Amino acid sequence: MAKCLCSPQAIVLPELPSINVLEVSAVPIAGYAIPQPEVPNHGVFPTGTVDFCNVTVTFTHASIDQEIIVEVWLPSKETWNDRILAIGGGGFATGRTRYDQMAGIVSESFATFTTDAGLADPFNPVTWALDSTGAIDEAMIEYWGYTSLGDMVCSVIFKEPTFIITKGVLSLDCDRLHEVFMSWVWPQLQMNLAGEYPYGCEIDSLTAIAVSRCDGKDGVEDGIITDPYACEPFNPFTEVGSPAEKCRDPDSTRISMAAAYVINVTWFGIVDEAGEPIFFAQNPGTDLTGITTGAGVATTTCQDVGEDCAGAPLPLGPVWLQVFGLEEPEFPFRSLTLEEFYSVLRDRRSFFDRYGGSINADLSDFKEAGGKLITYHGLVDQTIPADLTRDYYEQVMTFDSDVSDYFRYFEVPALGHCVGNSHPDSTFHVLRQWVENGIVPDSIPVSLTDSSGNLNDRIVCPYPRISVFLPECGDSAHAGCFTCQ
């Protein structure tokens, strides 16, 4: 790479309203090792090293106090493929966390960029979400919610790229963010109110029974529910007293009333004072305890008999409640009442919908601009219920019956949150093919490991179609034996 191009002097900064650039650095990086993470939307990158130019822009925005950093990794001018691929973050972080992915992306000749949205410590929102009086900093929430994404794009375009593609999880790119975090609080609140914290192995035993009851409905006994909406309702209370097969000693460990209660309130999701559902919940088959995947909304500290039991919420749930809901970072979560929960849930909803709810189903501007969008959601996502995305897509369908011409949504059986078993790693390639070559994605391949440990090639289908097994074809490990119906 010619060093003279990778220098601050070679970069002409655009004039942008509200932005004051404090510093630009441009550093040639040689021999950067490409890590090998499982990459959402993308296959594993080739091993090796990559050379690039790291341009880091530090600036302020008139609306907020924090300094913002946008980081851009550029391939050489000769190898750039005229495309920019943005990288997001996860949790509260908008970006500058996934350098592993950026290395792989730049090695494939894309330019890539990411922003921290001014969050010096994204996982400690006390440092940025509250103002000096301890109240929610509305301007910061707005910047975090979407302005930061626009700034990232505007501040680094030095030549019109052919395509700008965003991938990964941009922090607030989540439908109904407030309720998602509150839904992590719900099962834990219910356990606190009941004073009961069942063993994780009991919950997992009930999950296994629920899966076994519906497994064959899709024509394949593989421990995976392809269409949870086709399942008969499962009443966990009928299993109280049954052996807890997932516990170390099922003969002496029986499924308790508390376990049935907890799994029931979790599957039902948040309900109002009259017991009517008001938010979505995880599908049966989802890891609720974190024993399998490390993240579960109904996790307790005890996996099995003999361990001390207490609630173990996903940390961002209580943090959301305390900082964004109550504006009391020190509020003792264990003392939360049902009334306080409902109050926060309702009072803060419209505020966060305004800046991070992503509830607008009118995609006509995107459609008119010629955009294409692919979304997928794991049907056993532990943290964000898949029904949420289905609900959003249905709203878009209602708004525009031709939505599948530019936006397709794929529900993925056996997949948890973003990555893991059954993760569709070709969605980025499929999206490029759709945008650049007009090849419409009528299905996407996935590989999934079934409950017997066998690897299966399958397909996932654009909603509302689902993948259906063709018994006359016979081989449920062969993607060709499935069709979208």
d(CA 404, CA 411) in angstroms, rounded, equals 14
242, 255 contact by CB (below 8 A): yes
Nearer to Ca ion, 222 or 411 (CB): 222
Q: Please, what is the minimum distance in Å from the beta carbon of residue 324 to Ca ion?
A: 39
Beta strands in 280-415 (DSSP E): 373-378, 407-412
Closest contact distance (angstroms) between CB of 215 and Ca ion is: 4
Q: Does 218 sit near Ca ion (CB under 5 A)?
A: yes
239 is a contact residue toward Ca ion (CB under 5 A): no
The 172-211 contact track toward Ca ion, x by CB under 5 A, reads ----------------------------------------
The DSSP code sequence of 305-328 is TTS---B---THHHHIIIIIISS-
CB of 223 to Ca ion, least distance (A): 7
Quote the CA–CA distance of 117 and 138 in Å, as a whole number.
14
Residues belonging to the chain? 485
Q: Which stretch binds Ca ion (CB under 5 A): 68-76, 218-226, 305-313, 397-405?
A: 218-226
3 state DSSP class of 250: coil
Instruction: Write each residue from 359 to 398 as x if it is in contact with Ca ion (CB under 5 A), else as -, in one continuous string.
Output: ----------------------------------------
Work out how close the CB of 443 gets to Ca ion at its nearest, in angstroms, rounded to a whole number: 18
Instruction: State the minimum distance, in angstroms, from the CB of residue 451 to Ca ion.
Output: 9
How big is the site for Ca ion, counted in residues (CB under 5 A)? 5
Contact 107, 50 (CB under 8 A): yes
| Minimal distance, residue 389 CB to Ca ion, in Å | 21
Residue placing its CB nearer to Ca ion in the complex, 222 or 387: 222
Question: Which DSSP category does 465 fall into?
Answer: -
Rg (C-alpha) for the chain, rounded Å, is: 24
- Contacts of residue 268, Cβ cutoff 8 Å, sequence gap at least 6: 277, 281
Contacts to Ca ion from residues 247-286, by CB under 5 A:
none
Q: Is 325 exposed, middle or buried (0-12, 13-18, 19+ CB in 10 A)?
A: buried
> Which of residues 222 and 287 has its CB atom nearest to Ca ion in the complex?
222
**Should residue 215 be labelled a site residue for Ca ion when binding is judged by CB under 5 A?**
yes
Q: Which of 220, 255, 345, 415 binds Ca ion (CB under 5 A)?
A: 220
How is residue 251 written in tokens? 């003969």
Contact at 8 Å (CB) between 300 and 311?
Answer: yes
Stretch that binds Ca ion, among 84-92, 221-229, 296-304, 314-322 (CB under 5 A): 221-229
C-alpha span between 48 and 30 (Å, rounded): 12
Among 149, 169, 224, 321, indicate the residue that binds Ca ion (CB under 5 A): 224
| Binding residues vs Ca ion (CB under 5 A) | 215, 218, 220, 222, 224
